[in-house]
Amino acid sequence: MSQTARRIVLLGPPGGGKGTQAKRLEHRHGWPQLSTGDILRQAIKDETPLGQRVKATIDAGKLVSDEEIMGVIAERMEQPDCANGFVLDGVPRTLGQAAALEDLLAGKGTPLNAVIELRVPDSLLMERLTGRFSCVTCNANYHDSFHTPKVEGVCDHCGGTEFKRRSDDQPETVQGRLDAYHDQTEPLKPFYRERDLLRVVDGTMAMDEVTAEMERVVGLL
């Protein structure tokens, strides 16, 4: 495992492999994956003062503010496993969050090393997301184009014959998620490009190739 400290932001669309690659970097180099959703859930579970505020916001049916999101991120970064770096997955999503993150890290004297955009065409993302299905019994994952059961209609792992698809993998829903991603992310690109942090990686490559390219752009190869 590498001991080289790196602080990285991953930008990537739904279905682009961002979460998978963040986990790979965590396992290979010890940089924890800081996923916004996971951090919010943990803060609520731990009943930290900020977690209680976030829970009250969610329970009231309101959106969690940039200030609250950056607050729980700041709390998470104080934990010992972040001393050697981290991979931010799902934040920043807005220019406000990006500016707040910059100020937070500047205050610690630990600026970002790179912002990596995993770029995948919308047409391929649509195919990836709308083609996913899983076994009802054991939750094994499959795909219409990339990974079908060895025997049609029979799960490779448990022999189950019932399968399900996620409701948010319907074409209209996927398109809405992609549109939202582009709306939120486009302003972040010039923000980080001006700071010479933005690096683009082709997310259509094989998984190992994507990981190797990400390691290259952050100076590990």
Tell me the mean pLDDT in the region 79-99: 93
Percent of the chain with pLDDT over 70: 98
Dig out the tokens for 121 from the structure.
């065409």
DSSP letter assigned to residue 81: G
Q: Report whether 135 belongs to an annotated binding site.
A: yes
**What whole-number distance in Å separates Cα of residue 3 and Cα of residue 109?**
19
Residue 156 token pair = 């490779």
pLDDT tops 90 at residue 25: yes
List the beta bridge partners of residue 200: 117
Task: Name the token pair of 196.
Answer: 């010479």
| DSSP 8-state class, residue 210 | H
The upper half-sphere exposure of residue 68, i.e. CA atoms within 13 Å in the direction of its Cβ, equals 20
67 alpha-carbon distance from chain centroid = 20
- CA 66 to each of CA 35, 96, 101, 106: distance values in angstroms, whole numbers, following the listed order: 15, 7, 10, 18
Tell me what pLDDT residue 65 has.
Answer: 87
Residues 137 and 155: beta-carbon distance below 8 Å: yes
pLDDT at 3: 64
Rounded distance between C-alpha atoms, residue 111 and residue 73, angstroms: 15
- Residue-wise pLDDT for 142-193, tens only, equals 999 999 999 999 999 999 999 999 888 899 999 998 998 899 888 999 999 9
Average pLDDT over residues 48-66: 86
Taking Cα atoms as reference points, which of 3, 206, 26, 215 lies closest to residue 114?
215
> Could you tell me the domains of the chain?
6-120+180-213 (3.40.50.300)
pLDDT value of residue 221: 56
Both tokens assigned to 129: 């997301």
24 is in an annotated binding site: no
Tell whether 97 is in a known binding site. Answer: yes
Answer yes or no: are the C-beta atoms of 55 and 88 closer than 8 Å: no
How many other C-beta atoms lie within 10 A of the C-beta of residue 108? 11
**Mean pLDDT (the chain, rounded):** 92
Q: Cα separation of 9 and 201, whole Å?
A: 13
Cα–chain center distance at 56 = 25
Tokens encoding 61: 């049916």
Report, as residue numbers or ranges, the catalytic residues. 18, 93, 132, 166, 177
18 annotated binding-site participant: yes
Phi, psi for residue 13 in degrees, rounded to 5: -75, 165
